Structure 1
Amino acid sequence: MTSTAEAVLFWSLAPLMVLAAMGLLFARKAVHATISVVFVMISLAVLYVANEAPFLGIAQVVVYTGAIMMLFLFVIMLVGVGASDSLVETVRGQRFIGVLFAGGLAIILLAFLGRLTVGPGVGHEATVADNPTAIARVLLGNFVFPLELVGVLLVTAALAALSLTHQRRLRDRVSQKDLADARVAQGRRLTPLPSPGVFAGRNAMDVPALDPHGRPVESSVSRVLRARGQERDAFVDPEIIEVTEASRPAVGTWDRPERGSDSAESAASEGDSNTREESGEK
């Protein structure tokens, strides 16, 4: 006989389950419909546990809610099925065919319920401790091959979801070398924007940076500031620039002397020292 707590639990969950089932039919978004089905399955698992059938309740949560429905939910979220997709009929007249099949199924169920006879209760023989063991023996003994087929089907569904959600790149990945080649072809600067040089007196963003020779670098100031006329001049003493330019080596030359000049200078110095020694002896 149903206890008061069990009746309260049933009448509390039953209306919510009906509303969630209606949400499956009338939800505009596929994700909301999937969440409604998940709520129905969890509520059904709670009713199983309340009727002293914990194995069915755990199986309902683990298999249906935790595996199948979560797989559906993730696939829908990854593929991106929206409300506008359900309004487009890929086959003409598919809604009429769906209503026709739903009506036929309802007639069959009503006819079956009209002939249903309810006998006296047989107790809780189906929920004894040995029932899960018996189910495991049947599944892993008599139905091993169908169980393996179900596993292969689930793996195939997971691979299909991965293939559907995989998006090919419209462009190849650009490497750092490709970026450098493109900048060289366009005549752009390879290095980042220069920082203030050795002659810089300030580091404000509206003052151009100075290169090691004291010349302002125009690219160091934002084009927006230059367009607004907010750029300030970076003044350097012209004498410093002249001294720097004079001490600057020519392009393609080295500061150090050549090997031949080193040997010539050493030979000349040795000759001078020898002549001085001879003159001292005399």
Structure 2
Amino acid sequence: MTSLVPLVTAQAVAFWVLAPVAVLGALGMVLFRKPVHSALSLAGMMIALAGLYASLDAPFLFVVQIIVYTGAILMLFLFVLMLVGVSTTDSMMETIRGHRVASVLAALGFAILLISAIGKGIVGAPRGLEDATAEFGGNVPGLAALIFSDYIVLFEATSALLITAAVAAMVLAHGEQLRPKVRQAGQLKARMRNYATDGKHPGPLPNPGVYATSNAVQSPALLPDGSIAENSIVEAMRDRGVVANPDELASPAQHTFAAIESVKAEEGRE
């Protein structure tokens, strides 16, 4: 009696379940418009990759993927999002000369490295995990030997980069403690100084809806001459795209002033 050979293994089942999750998470990270949703998609992708590492008998990569990438680096991403703000728009202006060319060259270099690594893994007969780690006595000792011998410089450089990023995040978060806090008297002096040098009005910003046909918060304020007060609408309303059309709000006042000017012109001719 012949023995039955299983056609589907647990490793194959884990791959077909977790691989689509990882791909969808990667696509969501790129395609989502909100940074928080992109970060959550990145977390799902990292957890799916950790499951794939566990199914491939790579416990070290499984633990590192969960603790380092999902637990530490992703939390650093979310911390930066909290510092910058979720409604901040990216500026398309090139502030550093040549950074686009450098970005293209870096992307090409990364693509070449990725293609060469994939080609090296595809071309030739695979050795297998046991054969590759036989001289080291296991998977984890083999990784430790490579990290702390052949790639020790790269490992220390990565550690220094992560420490620098953590210190920079703490400095940005607690920057207000590095300089004296400005009190109300200091703010008043700064406003008067700006008014004397730049002509910026020291008073509060105009409220939305003033002199407009609607007192809603998305309606820009109108000045007495019928023009639009651009600083009467907060940036969040502009980012949401719900600001009312300023031309429609200003048209009644503009027509009124035009009629007044025409009457004055007729009286002057008489």
The two structures have a TM-score, normalised by structure 1, of 0.48
> Which is higher, the Rg of structure 1 or of structure 2?
1
The two structures have a TM-score, normalised by structure 2, of 0.50
